[in-house]
Amino acid sequence: MANIEDVARLANVSIATVSRAFNNKPDVSEKTKARILEIARSIGYEPSVPARSLTKRKTNTLGLIVPDISNPFYGEVVRGIEDTCHNHNYNVILCNADNKRDKEFLYIDMLKNRWVDGIIFHSDYFTERHYEVFKGKKIPLVLAGRATKYDILYVAIDNFKAAYDATNYLISLGHERIGIIHGPLNGMEETVDSVDRFLGYKKALKDAGLKVYDELIKEANFKAKGGYKAAKMMLEGEIKPTAIFAISDMMAIGAINAVFDSGFKCPEDVSVIGFDNIDLCEVIRPPLTTIAQPMYQIGAVAAKLLVKIIGGEQVEQKSVLLDHELVVRKSCSRL
């Protein structure tokens, strides 16, 4: 592989001049610059990124830790991140941590050793230990997809309000027995999405003067099968819901299937509303009414924010809460 010295020799200049030419420094004559670039091209030379990283102490690389890239939700977020990085001349190292603490810390360590310029971290949980590890390592960090009480930048949506809106929509359609299928609450110690959404649901019911039935509150694992089981139990119970709010689209889809399998119809007998707005929503029958999260945007904005911080812009960077949106399709109807 050709290196800077080869180019210098062939162009009859010093390696410093070659370096200048490639870094667009002002103090190289246009003529020599052109000659250098041409010679470089002819022998297929381009600067070595690792070598550059070493001297500049900057790798132009972002570390990206997500739970699971095979989940379409994260696929969208990551797509937003990668697109943005590409536009800003960064590359992305992808890490699947499965929401597992050890895997996360292991990856954080690896990324640190790789001198990544920053990390975008996406996980169901952000604990005190996370906070301390990141602080200790002093790596620029942006949390994606969730807010936090720590002084760490994040890009997310207002989960409480989003769930409030979803529930309220059901109420506005005349529903009174509204069930919820939420995710793991984890003792409600941490500010997990699931907790916020659950709280938003309860608040909406209370504000409308409606009763909160314990029988209509079920927990599942964010997946279709979990949603199916939870809905099935609800529908076979004493108090039957006329509407169900599932806090992820996959669970909502499971719930719709449960409605049919229980001998009811959706939306005629039971309305179902989801959360996320993944592509599937328009494809299934009935098309799913849901709360849209700007997944791509979450990724894109997080990446932009991180790149800015790395660039050292002291412009008082702030966390961002993006807007959610109610997308009305056909899975909910007036009571």
Partner DNA sequence: ATGAAAGCGCTAACAT
Partner DNA sequence: ATGTTAGCGCTTTCAT
Per the CB < 8 A criterion, the answer to whether 297 and 80 are in contact is yes
Pick one of 20, 177, 197, 324: the residue that binds DNA (CB under 7 A).
Answer: 20
35 to 74: interface string for its own copies, x by CB under 8 A: ---------x-xxxxxx-xx----x-x--x---xxxxx-x
Angle between helices 30-42 and 4-11 (to 10 degrees): 120
Stretch that binds DNA, among 29-37, 138-146, 233-241, 322-330 (CB under 7 A): 29-37
Per the CB < 8 A criterion, the answer to whether 288 and 274 are in contact is yes
Is 221 a binder of its own copies (CB under 8 A)? no
Is 312 a binder of DNA (CB under 7 A)? no
Q: What tokens were used for 198?
A: 């659950």
Stretch that binds DNA, among 27-35, 162-170, 250-258, 288-296 (CB under 7 A): 27-35
- Minimum separation from the CB atom of position 16 to its own copies (A): 19
* Cα 230 versus chain centre, distance: 26
Residues near 202 by Cβ (< 8 Å), separated by ≥ 6?
212
- Minimum separation from the CB atom of position 226 to its own copies (A): 12
Sign of the C-alpha dihedral computed for residues 189, 191, 194 and 197 taken in this order: positive
36 to 55: interface string for DNA, x by CB under 7 A: ---------xxxx--xx-xx
Length of the chain: 335
Is 263 a binder of its own copies (CB under 8 A)? no
**Is 102 in a helix, a strand, or coil?**
helix
CA dihedral (102, 106, 108, 109) in degrees, to 10, reads: 140
Nearest residue (CB) to DNA, 45 versus 160: 45
Antiparallel, parallel or unpaired: β 289-292 and 325-327: antiparallel
Per the CB < 8 A criterion, the answer to whether 72 and 278 are in contact is yes
Which of the listed partners (its own copies, DNA, none) does 76 bind, with a CB threshold of 5 to 8 Å by partner kind?
A: its own copies
* Cα 248 versus chain centre, distance: 14
User: Would you tell me which residues interact with its own copies (CB under 8 A)?
Assistant: 44, 46-51, 53-54, 59, 61, 64, 68-72, 74-76, 78-79, 82-83, 86, 91-96, 109-110, 112-115, 136, 224, 250, 253-254, 257, 260, 279-280, 282-285, 296
User: Would you tell me which residues interact with DNA (CB under 7 A)?
Assistant: 1, 3-5, 12-17, 19-20, 22-23, 26-29, 31-33, 45-48, 51-52, 54-57
